[in-house]
Amino acid sequence: MKLLVPVKRVVDYNVKVRVKADGTGVETANVKMSMNPFDEIAVEEAVRLKEKGTVTEIVAVTIGPAQAQEQLRTALAMGADRAILVEAEGAEPLGVAKVLKALVEREQPQLVILGKQAIDDDMNATGQMLAALLGWSQGTYASKVELSADGAKVTREVDGGLETVQLKLPAIVTTDLRLNEPRYASLPNIMKARKKPLETLKAADLGVDLTPRLTVVKVEEPPKRQAGVKVGSVSELVSKLKTEAKVI
Amino acid sequence: MDMMMNDESRMLQDLVQRFVERELMPLEAAVLKREAETGSYRLLPEEEAPLLEKCRELGLWGLDVPEEMGGVNLSALDRLMVEEEVSRTITPFEFPPDSPNLHMLKAVATPEQREKYMVPYAEGRMKSCIAISEPGAGGDPAGMITRAVKDGSDWVINGRKIWVSRVPYCDFIILMARTGEGKREEGVTAFIVEKDTPGFIIEREIAMIGGKKTYELVFEDCRVPESQVLGELGRGYAPMQLRLNIRRLQVGARCVGIIGRALEMMIDQANNRATFGVKLADRQAIQWWIADAGIRMHALRLMVQAAARTLDAGGDVRHEASMIKVFATETAQEVLDQAMQCHGAMGMTRELPLQLFYQQVRLMRIYEGPTEVHRMAIARRMLKSRGSRS
């Protein structure tokens, strides 16, 4: 079974994100970039499925700038077999989903595993849009995936508990935090990744129009948290909640 | 962030960073507590075993071991980048095998010596150290008087060595001794002496600052066969120097890592701590410490990278190694001092890693050649070669 794993290049989770002075976005110049952590979980799951023998080939893909091949190399070092970079700047979830649809039609995978969302814009949309465009079943927020030849049993993290769904293949799975703990790419595998194939395409090669449909009005930092106060008694707390915070 | 870094180096850096953050940093509190309470600055076997296991799994093993011996044989550039990353933590750990003598062995070992010593050493099955300094000859090893005299087919060694690290854990030591007459380094030969060789005596353990221990050794009619001569007779100095140059670049890389950590702690403290109603971050004195530390860390890293590239291209880095050794240790000492100052009383505790780093850097200003000797050597070369580029 062939598996497609889309990954995204994002600002590293350790970096304190700064808003650009002109409010058009966040600063990415000279900032450490990494693979979206949820996508890392997706790659790990794909590699585990391959190790179990149900999957025979893993294709990692990304839609992003030329430098996004770094993240594809990381996916290859973790265990993906080959990679495809579709060069495009600032694509929106719908555009990305359209590119992925075109790649799915080209590659014919049985399963697409991707992060539930990217930690940069937290859109949480690409997987669902791709499922809609393809008319495939979807299991989002997966915390457990059991794959067989004809279907996938996906445990989902939902409000108040776990929900288990049985998907018919082909299908889309989006990963949640607790699905697995991604491995470190070992040094020998890092060296081997260099020799694995990485293909570069343009969105136009796939016949996809990535013209933005959304306009970013403004990006701003969240308001600074005010310092708290200590209260002396319950009655003082209640009165402050009534008169100052005005929440009761 | 280095835009010129290739994909493999970037991923290696990522791997090492994660290893340091997730495996080594969490041990720091226990390491510091133990060092403060018992003076022991070593990992417990039960702490070390899983780390070694993980290193094997991740291929972080034999980083500077030649490929024909199953190692990774990283470039100096990558090896020093790894050194920088692992130096950010006070947890005492080196990627196995601990191999400071590897470069020297690689340069001069005979096929028999490679088989008997270098292969097990490279695989981490044997440990070794080197004995150079003597009570009367430290920064100027050419003044050494430990002597080896030929007797039949053997060599008989008499003398005294001091400041030797790791002796009790070593299976063999590399011993520098005089075998002939000559000025300075002429007539100095390297020998491989196995532990338990009669006449090889560990005289005493010396407690150093920075949690380190060194040993004084006595050689009393210590007899070794001809096969233990390492390299050419009377020419042991040059290969030893080769080893020292790499050590000096490592000191540079270590200081970049230590400065980076100190700087990070200083920035956190500046952003969080207020005095007299003003954040430390808003005080110019602190701002300048941070700015100057950042400038000098950047300069030092570039110096180390440039020397590593020269070394990788087969060049001689003796001069650069001296410059790096001086600049790295003095800069790190000053930045650590400021980071401790910035932390106030907290900076004086043995709960923070700063004081132990401080002691270690203090030690670095002495070993592998004291600052003043390096300055002297740098100046001598410059005075002799006016007009050459450096």
A193 to B11: CB separation less than 8 angstroms, yes or no? yes
Judge whether A38 lies within some domain: yes
B60 to A187: CB separation less than 8 angstroms, yes or no? yes
Q: Is the pLDDT of residue B184 over 80?
A: no
- Residue B2, pLDDT score: 58
| Closest chain B C-alpha to A164 CA, distance in angstroms | 32
Of residues B7 and B334, more confidence is placed in B334
For the segment B315-324, the average pLDDT, to the nearest whole number, is 94
- Residue B4, pLDDT score: 65
Judge whether A45 lies within some domain: yes
- Contacting residues of A for B18, CB less than 8 Å apart: 184
**Structural domain that includes position A12:** 2-243
Burial of residue B278 (number of CB atoms within 10 Å: 0-12, 13-18, 19+): exposed
Chain A contact for B12 (CB, 8 A cutoff): yes
Domains observed in chain B: 7-122 (1.10.540.10), 128-230 (2.40.110.10), 238-385 (1.20.140.10)
Of residues B336 and B72, more confidence is placed in B336
- Structure confidence at residue B389 as a pLDDT band (50, 70, 90): low
Number of domains, chain A? 1
Number of CB atoms found within 10 A of residue B277's CB: 5
B14 to A34: CB separation less than 8 angstroms, yes or no? yes
Give pLDDT tens digits for A32-88. Answer: 999 999 999 999 999 999 999 989 999 999 999 999 999 999 999 999 999 999 999
Judge whether A227 lies within some domain: yes
The answer to whether the complex's ipTM is over 0.85 is no
- Contacting residues of B for A186, CB less than 8 Å apart: 15, 57-59
Judge whether A18 lies within some domain: yes
- Contacting residues of B for A77, CB less than 8 Å apart: 11
- Contacting residues of A for B14, CB less than 8 Å apart: 34, 74, 185
- Residue A225, pLDDT score: 82
Residues in A lying within 8 Å of B, measured between beta carbons? 30-32, 34, 69-70, 73-74, 77, 184-191, 193-194
For the segment B295-315, the average pLDDT, to the nearest whole number, is 96
Q: What's the CATH code of the domain at A46?
A: 3.40.50.620
- Residue B339, pLDDT score: 98
- Residue B162, pLDDT score: 95
Q: What is the pTM of this model?
A: 0.87
SS (H, E, C) chain A: CEEEEECCEEECCCCCCCECCCCCCECCCCCCEEECHHHHHHHHHHHHHHHHCCCCEEEEEEEECHHHHHHHHHHHHHCCCEEEEEECCCCCHHHHHHHHHHHHHHHCCCEEEEECCCCCCCCCCHHHHHHHHHCCEEEEEEEEEEECCCEEEEEEEECCEEEEEEEECCEEEEECCCCCCCCCCCHHHHHHHCCCCEEEEEHHHHCCCCCCCCCCCCCCCCCCCCCCCCCCCHHHHHHHHHHCCCCC
Judge whether A248 lies within some domain: no
- Residue B123, pLDDT score: 84
